[in-house]
Amino acid sequence: AKTPNSQCIEDLGIGYAGNTEPQFIMPSCIAIKESASVGEQAQRRLVRGVDDLDFYIGDEAIDKPNYATKWPIRHGMVEDWDLMEKFMEQVIFKYLRAEPEDHSFLMTEPPLNTPENREYLAEIMFETFNVPGLYIAVQKVPGCLMK
């Protein structure tokens, strides 16, 4: 059950601390509107819609007509921070229905994550979402603690 100031856990199995299982398990994909340009730039594709909240994440993003499916995380590492920020925005507000400034967050990272990636994640969580607390754990450690 959700209580005020309960901790949020985000490992693409998403939910609140104290629950026996994640509330949501979803693929880390995002579908954004995509349109082909014309003329000499016919090979280029222009990404549109992300700033307008015209995008889908997780299972909703799979095989969406007129949308391009992007994967901001590859092999456990974030490759596109702009898309990842939009993904996290949807997770927090749409799925968890949380006000991030009211919750501390536990997030996971791959074992060989770079200090720069960890710092950038912290920057997004503190500066964009105004979370009061953040703990970044290596992916397998929280699972060991739950057994």
pTM for the whole structure? 0.75
**Is residue 2 included in any domain, yes or no?**
no
47-77 pLDDT tens trace: 444 445 688 999 999 888 889 999 999 888 8
**Is residue 55 included in any domain, yes or no?**
yes
Which range marks the domain in which residue 29 is found? Answer: 8-146
Comparing 97 with 45, the larger pLDDT belongs to 97
104-143 pLDDT tens trace: 999 988 888 999 999 999 999 999 999 999 999 988 765 5
Give dist(CA 18, CA 68) in Å, integer: 36
Task: Please name which of 114, 136, 116, 55 lies closest in space to residue 89, comparing C-alpha atoms.
Answer: 55
**Is residue 25 included in any domain, yes or no?**
yes
Tallying the residues shown for the chain, one arrives at 147
> How many structural domains are present in the chain?
1
71-88 pLDDT tens trace: 999 888 899 999 999 999
**Is residue 94 included in any domain, yes or no?**
yes
What is the pLDDT at residue 48? 42
pLDDT category, 18, cuts 50, 70, 90? confident
**Is residue 31 included in any domain, yes or no?**
yes
**Is residue 63 included in any domain, yes or no?**
yes
**Is residue 45 included in any domain, yes or no?**
yes
Give dist(CA 70, CA 94) in Å, integer: 19
**Is residue 1 included in any domain, yes or no?**
no
Question: Which single residue is written with the structure tokens 């799925």?
Answer: 95
Determine the average pLDDT of the residues in 36-41.
40
What is the pLDDT at residue 16? 86
In the chain, DSSP assigns E strands to 8-10, 13-16, 24-25, 30-36, 45-47, 55-57, 67-70, 73-74, 77-78, 105-109, 134-138
Residue 36 has pLDDT above 50, yes or no: no
CATH classification of the domain holding 15: 3.30.420.40
Task: Please name which of 44, 116, 41 lies closest in space to residue 79, comparing C-alpha atoms.
Answer: 116
